Structure 1
């Protein structure tokens, strides 16, 4: 009898502990503006894991498919796996439900990078696909970072377009744009690619650096990294680095540390768990939001006209 009571009490205690652990697991992670998720080939639904870990951005490869939709991945379109269904709708629904933020502590936009990939290379098809994306984004205009002339206004989400479709000329003709082009360090100081059109510099690590994180970083590479990031910030742009070497997490963490020390605004990696854990221990402290996101609830549709505002060409989005 007593043994039964002890066993029952032990089971109840274990159940209570399990409930506490489950409750802690369900708590929303604090927002990590420097954390950016990359989609692995086997990721069926990539957004929930990114939001659950509090990462401040996601790059999704897309390819044009039937009925004018954009499908996730660079391969053949899979039924139901559309950008609108798996990414745009849940992302904006969450922001709308939280009064214009993805999380209560969000202070800078979530950076959604739409990367056109796949076998489609026809320019007209790709530009038509971008127009589909633009239409889908305008359905959520009040939650998006936008540019009116040279005035950059941050929103809950900033969308950049990259990959095999070059949308710069098309974007440059829009009076008000809700998406931006991604650039490289070669665009710094370029009049044809101002920060109002190309607000974020994005390059793979291996394009300019050979360090793999296994040994101490060479002094010249560290100097180059700091100099390039400083130049981009002086030019009014944020910096996103992806394409880190495939290696042990310890080696990648060494590179994450150097990127953070250099003030890189966005660190992109497919190792979501490792990156989130690292950034919580070693936050990138140089990134300061110059203008907080709106706190009021944002309704569906276009925002109301704004009064004239100071030039914000250096306002990162």
Structure 2
């Protein structure tokens, strides 16, 4: 999605109206919108949205746990009344956008990226399907503000929602002629006709899945070449790239990795260090590119989501 496309899409939302809930006044003076910065809410966070908007970050990954009746809950422990994704994230986010003419801030030119990460021990397909259907309905209540796909065309909006974590919903989403949520992909999806950009618009991987560099020494030439090559291929495939799962270490080492990601054109850098990331991106913005037009493709179909098969521990951090 280039700036002109999203600017036009957002301009069309200027007439959107909505009731401003009490949650919309949580931040009065947000900082300039930083589209490349993406916050990762820790599992213990109950209300992560206010800080994200205040800092001007362009996205948020929020871990959720399905409840017995399909609602999605935030925070540690079992489901508790009032700690729902709808109440703490969706309602205040969409109310704020509607109340500001279809944007989070005047500087917004790309969608705010909300990644809903299913977590927890519940992996029964029926429970996951019920939770996804409820999420899908809650999103459709705000259809005019959402990025959506109409057939094989991706139409940008003020917010792009993706679903990730322990559930794989891509084949269920593929059965929808018009969808308001998307699946996160990996670099393995590049060129895949079963996972086209209109279904999987974002490549999202933890850094440690393919790279061993921790930022303390100069990056090996082969890893830098691989990073640039993968990002270039993803852009040529009509997709954006989000990288998270960065090695734990000093902020100096993390800044070195952020710098390499920015130079490679990684569209979105996700990290728990919101303050440090925002400061870094102001000084070292991501190299911008003109995305390719997504190629037409057919997607496979399935009637219900399925849990991911267990994977070996790769120090995975939610993306």
Q: Determine the structure 1 residue equivalent to 2:23.
A: none
C-alpha separation in 2, matches of 1:113 and 1:195? 16
SS of aligned partner of 2:87: helix
CA contact (8 A) 1:181 1:197 kept: yes
Q: Which deviates more from structure 2 when the two are superposed, residues 267-276 or residues 279-288? A: 279-288
CA contact (8 A) 2:243 2:268 kept: yes
1:184-203 to 2 correspondences below 5 Å: 184-203=186-205
Could you tell me which of 159, 168, 171 is aligned with 1:169? 171
2:239 corresponds to 1:258: no
Could you tell me which of 182, 185, 188 is aligned with 1:183? 185
Provide TM-score, normalisation by structure 2. Answer: 0.81
Could you tell me which of 205, 213, 217 is aligned with 2:219? 217
2:131 corresponds to 1:129: yes
Could you tell me which of 17, 31, 34 is aligned with 2:33? 31
Distance 1:35 1:189, change over 3 A: same
Gapped regions of structure 1 (runs ≥ 5): 1-24, 291-311
1:1-317 to 2 correspondences below 5 Å: 27-73=29-75, 75-287=77-289, 313=294
**What is the root-mean-square deviation in Å for CA atoms of aligned residues?**
1.8
C-alpha separation in 2, matches of 1:118 and 1:46? 18
Q: Determine the structure 2 residue equivalent to 1:21.
A: none
Q: Determine the structure 2 residue equivalent to 1:6.
A: none
SS of aligned partner of 1:239: strand
Q: Determine the structure 2 residue equivalent to 1:17.
A: none
C-alpha separation in 2, matches of 1:74 and 1:134? 23
C-alpha separation in 1, matches of 2:76 and 2:295? 34
Quote the offset at 1:265 in angstroms.
0.3
C-alpha separation in 1, matches of 2:155 and 2:192? 21
C-alpha separation in 1, matches of 2:128 and 2:77? 15
If you compute each CA radius of gyration, which structure gives the higher value, 1 or 2? 1
C-alpha separation in 1, matches of 2:195 and 2:113? 19
Distance 1:204 1:74, change over 3 A: farther
What are the superposed Cα offsets for residues 28-74 of structure 1, whole Å, 9 maximum, x if unpaired? Answer: 21111100000123322101111001000000111111443100146
CA contact (8 A) 2:234 2:241 kept: yes
Quote the offset at 1:76 in angstroms.
1.8
C-alpha separation in 1, matches of 2:79 and 2:207? 30
Higher helix share: 1
Quote the offset at 1:107 in angstroms.
0.1
- Alignment length (residue pairs): 270
Quote the offset at 1:75 in angstroms.
4.2
Distance 1:193 1:289, change over 3 A: closer
C-alpha separation in 2, matches of 1:150 and 1:60? 27
SS of aligned partner of 1:68: coil
